Amino acid sequence: MLLRPLRPPALKPLSWLSRSRPIIMPLRAKITHPAYQAQPASTMPDAYAEFKEQPGDDPDDVLFNTLYGVRTIQLNRPKKYNALNGSMIRKIIPRLKEYEKSALASVIIIGGAGPKAFCAGGDVSQLAKDIAENGDAGQATSKSYFGLEYQLDHLIATYPKPYIAYLDGITMGGGVGLSVHAPIRIATENTNFAMPECGIGFFPDVGGSFFLPRLEGYLGTYLALTSESLKGVQALYAGVATHYIDSSVLANLTARLAELVFKDYDNLQTRLRIIDRTIEEFNTGLPPNELPLLAGNLRLAIDHCFRYSTVEQIISALEKEADSRDAPAPIKGWAKQTLDKLAEKSPTSLKVTLRQMHLGLRWNTAETFNREYHIAAKFLQHPDFVNGVSARLIHKPATKAQWDPSTVEGVSNEAVESFFRVAEGEESLRLLTQGLDYDRYPYERDLGLPREEHIEQVVKDKARGKEDLIDVLVEAKEGKIGVREKVEEVLGRRSEVKEGVVVWKG
């Protein structure tokens, strides 16, 4: 790895982009400089004709910036919390394909404009209005939008160059699709991650079928059904983020990453490791006294209650936890609150989502987005989607949604299975990359905090005392912040010490 000469620090960085020199300016979606211009519409290959600008597209809803080898993508709808729409997707996809081919583009960084959100989700309010007003035509338009969105998400999941997401602010729904499949996902003190789809009569899409069930234990199922949010460093502890730094240093980090020069023969894994170490240069420490929240007895309760194959069993387990004389008071309170949360969700969404979590473990990335494309089309035909979006997002103040059916008992197994049934000859989603799909995230062991199965392996590999074991795991991650806290939590929950040696339970 080589380093470019250090540049003077930016005096007034805008958001997470460093603007130290006047020649480095944000580029609008229409670029006139020939060195950076994408293919004009007249010469764009037919395969990408669907991504051409359409009447009504905002030319400034995404800004593209060049800083040496870094290419930045800034979602630029701060008043709408950078909610993702078709206009933005039609700009981002061709740029990513352009950057993929360019020898000058080494690192891609995506973030959001404004202080509140990375991306608060897809603009589903407009989709619901369109369906309510135009019926079948509105459903067709909405289905096209989701197809477009999933094409982008799959492109990100299989992107052959380092792709980094700054989860600085609200990261929900469509914003999750733009970030969770990135090999490097950086949380800040402003991160607010959630998948709230069950509350609007939809399902955790954008690759949630892949990402959520592969979180440790049953955390993914818990997050999917309850829409529980992860704030700040909790996104790191849960495995949603791979890094945590303070938002105040994002601009400097962007400038530092622009100074990296990779060797031509460095593969993606090598480049990601270099970037990983570079990010740790900006380690500002963890927030004081903020240990993992989904931990200890709470984590045990989550794994116990959300391990079942039916929503009725999950509700029964929560009811038993809430009424248990032996359960600690905080766990009983959590169980009651969780039951209240589930009662607010669409019963159809809950049942389909739970089935999705179980099936998603078997799907690779290509099948994930194809399956979700068909599931989304089924939800667009279901009354809960328009009713849920209207009640929760369109009406001011928000109202209580009227679900149909209104109870989980009223949702039959046949109704659930119909969401996963693909009719013979039904249109498949055309994916933009081929041959790069996978069953597990390829770099999850190299990046982020150690997973429980890795900690278990180290425990069983050799007899060690607790502090020696923690030191081994911290050293293996080169002192990465959060490793000690994560390992201590896992050991406290999954192991015991016998005669000075850590022994894994079960």
Active site residues: 122, 174, 197, 205
The one-letter amino acid at 397: P
Rounded CA separation 490/374 (Å): 38
Rounded CA separation 195/264 (Å): 39
Kindly give, in sequence order, each residue whose CB lies less than 8 Å from that of residue 325, ignoring residues fewer than 6 positions away: none
Rounded CA separation 393/360 (Å): 28
For the chain, helix (H) and strand (E) counts, in that order, are 19, 14
Structure tokens at 139: 């459903």
- Residue 221 has φ and ψ, to the nearest 5°, of -65, -40
**Side-chain half-sphere CA neighbours of 433 within 13 A:** 24
Q: What is the DSSP letter of 249?
A: G
Q: What is the DSSP letter of 17?
A: B
Residue 196: its H or E element? none
DSSP string for 271-282 = HHHHHHHHHHTT
Ramachandran bin of 310, using left for φ above 0, alpha for ψ from -120 to 50, beta for the remaining angles: beta
Say if CB 166 and CB 186 are below 8 A apart.
yes
Say if CB 90 and CB 144 are below 8 A apart.
no
Rounded CA separation 136/131 (Å): 7
